[in-house]
């Protein structure tokens, strides 16, 4: 859908990391705390060069850890600044304590995540264990398939985060190396168009307004804590509606329409559905095209939004299908994959529940090929035992 | 020159930190906070680490703070202040803010010597213009008196208790002020609620620096130290007079004592009134331990004197 529009536009050869950095530049953040970690590093390097070249007026804070990166981000955001940052893997793990506080304090911080496996053993390659670890931290989580999506959804994501009905931090997640380090043609919007689309960030209660002092981050006991958490629940519930609104506006601006909260690829008549996050959706499209040539009715549901989880929309889309293969690029040790658990819960609302299969793939950057994805449909067709977690490409 | 009248007037004009908070009677921390905030003429933004000060002054929906105040977590006051200060700089540059604003961070010794040391070091190295005040009461008091890197040798805490095999903390305290000096920031000082004039003078010097400044302020905890709540200032005064807690400053690398006791009192005078050191005197006096404590203090004091002499002779 998006690709057809792109062919008419001028495109620049950019890696996912560079695309994310261009989005950061155009969003004109006031403060960007940075700390290096593979594979996110080129995002902050590219951005630092933009600042060094005077292309954007930003205070970069070269912090001494990701924990301090997120802490400085919260400080600057409460102060009244638009704040962006980036991280991966262990960096996100180190930030996590403060990620929960960022969302509770309603700081619309934008963070690019180059997804990478969590230690141990230490590994620098892609899987989604870092982002999944942070799934309960109160952040909006957007998964991107390619560099174009990483760019577009960073722009839309920031406006979404700062919308008065939302005010939540946002992670725009791209697969480490597969996207962060691979160059693709990317259509960038003019600087002014992005500036106009996102506007100036106006904090509701900036700390630096010394004429109107506010106490931020107070101590809440059992008499108030619960209500404050409930406000976060409500904010999350508003995300889907605002997302759709903004995507319509963004489509007019860019010609790229992210319709709904997931991309439906050859889904209409599909008996069998693959559900995937991130770059592997691209591989799955190739696999599905080949399967379609074999007259197999297979389709793909690729989620952009993972948090808030679009349970109702997914349930509607999967209702009445024969079987669904849910591909998780992360473990929740001792349970099903995170995506599987979400979808399984979402389907409680419908009567014609398809059989769900859980596949774990690509951990620590293990490659996944179209043929492997194609073979999944055999399990689904022959009604193999769905009661076990299956592993793709694993040496047993 | 600061005087009590000027301070009282500033407080009357703008009560930056109000009463009716829940800090214990006799707590030294609010004494430090009031002195610091009243010493600063410009508008201030306060960042506070998790601890007694945060918990007891901001029980939602109430607050004791009449200035912008921010708390995020325990170990990151310096990093949060970095963010606030960076936002201030850029928003001022972009014409969104016109005022001169000072950023002050308060944290306890646990949040500074131990869990917050990395964030502090990073912020100092980066050169943010802010004042970091460590309210040092020598243990994790918010959680009920556990040993920290600031707890002195032989003090009793709940995690280094006295017993058949133990006399309390077996290690020396960390010299945080010296660690901060090693960052070569414009202004570092050691102060105490036992000498408000000295503290206030130092705060004024600190906030006038175009870069980071740090003041390590001794504040007593009557509950943890085990003394009557009326004795807070007296006890901290004794720490100065025994040279356990000398008052000095390091301005652009030059060390200077800001107070020299006329007669250096024996350390026993500071130890005896505190229950956390009771085991050094009862059931029988631990002469060897007391001698060791005195020896450490003498050595540190001599070292400090030499440093200040060297600085004095170098600047002549």
Report whether B146 contacts B157 (CB < 8 A): yes
Q: Give B 63-92 residues with CB within 8 A of chain A.
A: 63, 65-73, 75-76, 78-84, 86-91
Angle between helices A147-162 and A16-26 (to 10 degrees): 30
How close is the nearest chain A Cα to the Cα of B78, in Å?
8
Q: Token pair for residue B184?
A: 């070569």
pLDDT band with cut points at 50, 70 and 90 for residue B316: low
Residue of higher predicted confidence among B20 and A41: A41
Nearest CA in chain B to A202: B96
**Can you give the pLDDT at residue B6?**
80
Q: What is the CA radius of gyration of chain A?
A: 21
B179 to chain A, any CB pair closer than 8 A? The answer is no
pLDDT band with cut points at 50, 70 and 90 for residue A8: low
Kindly give, in sequence order, each residue whose CB lies less than 8 Å from that of residue A82, ignoring residues fewer than 6 positions away. A27, A28, A29, A30, A31, A108, A110, A158, A162, A201
Angle between helices B117-126 and A66-79 (to 10 degrees): 70
To probe the interface with B, which of A27, A60, A71 has the most B CB atoms within 10 Å?
A71
Give the torsion sign (CA, A74, A76, A78, A83). negative
Give the torsion sign (CA, A259, A261, A265, A268). negative
B chain contacts of residue A82, beta-carbon cutoff 8 Å: none
Span A37-64, mean pLDDT?
98
Nearest CA in chain B to A104: B72
How close is the nearest chain A Cα to the Cα of B34, in Å?
17
Residue tagged 């008065």 (tokens): A164
Annotate A104-133 with b (16+ C-beta within 10 A) or e (fewer): bbbbbbbbbbbbbbbeeeebbbbbbbbbbb
Predicted TM-score (pTM) of this structure? 0.97
Kindly give, in sequence order, each residue whose CB lies less than 8 Å from that of residue A377, ignoring residues fewer than 6 positions away. A272, A291, A296, A298, A325
Query: Chain A residues contacting B, CB < 8 Å?
Result: 30-31, 33, 57-59, 61-65, 67-69, 71-81, 83, 97-98, 101, 105, 207-210, 213-221, 224, 228
Task: Write the DSSP symbol of residue B63.
Answer: -
How close is the nearest chain B Cα to the Cα of A132, in Å?
23
To probe the interface with A, which of B42, B56, B79, B89 has the most A CB atoms within 10 Å?
B79
Whole-angstrom Cα distance, residue B130 to residue B115?
Answer: 20
Whole-angstrom Cα distance, residue B246 to residue B272?
Answer: 19
**Can you give the pLDDT at residue B7?**
80
Q: Token pair for residue A228?
A: 């404050």
Q: Which domain holds residue B78?
A: 4-315
Q: Which of A4-8, B17-21, B131-135 holds the top average pLDDT?
A: B131-135
A64/B99 CB distance under 8 A = no
A chain contacts of residue B83, beta-carbon cutoff 8 Å: 31, 33, 61, 71-79, 81, 83
Beta-carbon pairs below 8 A across chains A and B: 164
Sketch out chain A's domains with CATH numbers. Answer: 2-200+219-254 (3.40.50.970), 262-391 (3.40.50.920)
Nearest CA in chain B to A210: B68
A chain contacts of residue B55, beta-carbon cutoff 8 Å: 219
* Helix/strand/coil for B285: coil
How close is the nearest chain A Cα to the Cα of B82, in Å?
6
Nearest CA in chain B to A107: B72
In total, how many domains does chain B have? Answer: 1
Kindly give, in sequence order, each residue whose CB lies less than 8 Å from that of residue A24, ignoring residues fewer than 6 positions away. A32, A43, A47, A50, A56, A84, A110, A112, A154
Among candidates A71, A216, A217 on the partner chain, residue whose Cβ is nearest the Cβ of B119: A71
pLDDT per residue over A289-346, tens digit each?
999 999 999 999 999 999 999 999 999 999 999 999 999 999 999 999 999 999 999 9
Which of these, A209, A128, A202, lies nearest to A171 by C-alpha position?
A: A128
Span B263-269, mean pLDDT?
98
**Can you give the pLDDT at residue A1?**
45
pLDDT per residue over A150-199, tens digit each?
999 999 999 999 999 999 999 999 999 999 999 999 999 999 999 999 99
Q: Token pair for residue A276?
A: 């995937």
Mean pLDDT of chain A: 96
Whole-angstrom Cα distance, residue B112 to residue B134?
Answer: 7
Whole-angstrom Cα distance, residue A356 to residue A359?
Answer: 10
Which of these, A136, A27, A145, lies nearest to A86 by C-alpha position?
A: A27
pLDDT band with cut points at 50, 70 and 90 for residue B10: confident
| Pairing of β A262-265 and β A298-303 | antiparallel
Whole-angstrom Cα distance, residue B36 to residue B90?
Answer: 26
Per residue, what are the HEC states of A128-140? CHHHHHCCCCCCE
Among candidates B72, B88, B89 on the partner chain, residue whose Cβ is nearest the Cβ of A74: B72
Kindly give, in sequence order, each residue whose CB lies less than 8 Å from that of residue B115, ignoring residues fewer than 6 positions away. B74, B75
A chain contacts of residue B84, beta-carbon cutoff 8 Å: 75-76, 78-79, 207-208
Whole-angstrom Cα distance, residue B165 to residue B171?
Answer: 15
The CATH number assigned to the domain holding B80 equals 3.40.50.970
Q: Token pair for residue A73?
A: 């981000």
pLDDT per residue over A254-268, tens digit each?
999 999 999 999 999
Whole-angstrom Cα distance, residue B150 to residue B117?
Answer: 12
């Amino acid at each position: 859908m998006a690709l057809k529009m792109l062919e008419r536009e001028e495109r620049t050869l950019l890696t996912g990391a560079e695309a994310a950095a261009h989005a950061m530049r155009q969003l004109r953040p006031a403060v960007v705390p940075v700390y290096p970690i593979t594979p996110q590093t080129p995002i902050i390097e590219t951005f630092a060069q933009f600042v060094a070249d005077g292309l954007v007026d930003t205070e970069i804070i070269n912090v001494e850890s990701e924990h301090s990166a997120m802490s400085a981000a919260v400080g600057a955001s409460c102060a009244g600044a638009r704040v962006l940052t980036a991280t991966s893997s262990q960096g996100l793990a180190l930030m996590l304590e403060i990620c929960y506080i960022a969302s509770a304090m309603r700081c619309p911080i934008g963070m690019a995540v180059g997804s990478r496996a969590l230690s141990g053993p230490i590994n620098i390659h892609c899987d989604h264990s870092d982002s999944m670890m942070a799934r309960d931290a109160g952040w909006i989580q957007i998964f991107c398939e390619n560099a174009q999506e990483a760019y577009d959804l960073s722009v839309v994501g920031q406006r979404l985060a700062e919308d008065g009905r939302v005010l939540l931090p946002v992670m725009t997640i791209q697969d480490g190396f597969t996207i962060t380090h691979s160059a693709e043609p990317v259509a960038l919007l003019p600087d002014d168009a992005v500036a106009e689309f996102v506007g100036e960030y106006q904090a509701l209660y900036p700390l630096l307004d010394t004429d109107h002092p506010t106490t931020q981050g107070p101590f809440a006991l059992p008499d108030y804590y619960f209500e404050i958490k409930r406000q976060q629940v409500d904010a999350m519930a508003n995300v889907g509606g605002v997302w759709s609104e903004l995507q319509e506006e963004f489509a007019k601006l860019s010609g790229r329409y992210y319709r709904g909260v997931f991309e439906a690829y050859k889904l209409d008549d599909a008996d069998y559905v693959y559900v995937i996050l991130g770059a592997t959706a691209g591989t799955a499209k190739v696999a599905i095209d080949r399967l379609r040539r074999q007259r197999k009715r297979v389709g793909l549901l690729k989620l952009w939004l993972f948090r808030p989880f679009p349970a109702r929309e997914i349930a509607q889309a999967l209702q009445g299908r024969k079987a669904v293969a849910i591909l998780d690029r992360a473990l929740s040790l001792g349970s099903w994959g995170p995506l599987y658990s979400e979808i399984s819960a979402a389907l409680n609302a419908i009567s014609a529940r398809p059989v769900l299969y859980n596949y774990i793939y690509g951990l620590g950057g293990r490659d996944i090929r179209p043929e492997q994805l194609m073979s999944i449909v055999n399990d689904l067709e022959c009604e193999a035992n769905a009661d076990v977690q299956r592993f793709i490409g694993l040496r047993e | 020159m600061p005087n009590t009248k000027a301070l009282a007037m500033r407080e009357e004009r703008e009560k930056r930190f109000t009463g009716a908070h829940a800090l214990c009677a006799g707590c030294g921390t609010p004494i430090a906070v009031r002195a610091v905030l009243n010493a600063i003429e410009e508008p201030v933004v306060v960042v506070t680490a998790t601890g007694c000060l945060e918990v007891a002054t901001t029980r939602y929906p109430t607050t004791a703070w009449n200035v912008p105040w921010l708390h995020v977590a325990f170990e990151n006051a310096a990093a949060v202040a970095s963010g606030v200060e960076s936002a201030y700089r850029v928003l001022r540059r972009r014409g969104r803010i016109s005022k001169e604003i000072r950023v002050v961070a308060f944290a306890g010794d646990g949040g500074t010597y131990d869990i917050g040391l990395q964030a502090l070091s990073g912020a100092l190295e980066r050169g943010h213009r802010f004042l970091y005040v460590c309210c040092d009461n020598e243990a994790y008091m918010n959680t009920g008196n556990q040993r920290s890197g600031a707890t002195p040798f032989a003090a009793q805490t709940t995690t280094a208790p006295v017993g058949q095999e133990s006399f309390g903390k077996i290690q020396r305290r960390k010299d945080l002020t010296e660690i901060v000096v090693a960052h070569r920031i414009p202004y570092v000082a050691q102060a105490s609620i036992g000498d408000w004039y000295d503290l206030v003078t130092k705060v004024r010097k600190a906030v006038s620096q175009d870069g980071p400044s740090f003041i390590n302020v001794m504040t007593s905890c009557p509950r943890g130290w085990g003394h009557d709540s009326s004795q807070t200032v007296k006890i901290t005064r004794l720490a100065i007079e025994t040279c356990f807690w000398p008052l000095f400053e390091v301005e652009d690398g030059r060390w200077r004592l800001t107070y020299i006791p006329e007669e250096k009192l024996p350390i026993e005078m500071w130890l005896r009134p505190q229950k956390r050191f009771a085991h050094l005197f009862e059931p029988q006096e631990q002469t060897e331990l007391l001698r060791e404590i005195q020896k450490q203090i003498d050595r540190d004091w001599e070292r400090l004197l030499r440093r200040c002499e060297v600085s004095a002779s170098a600047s002549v």
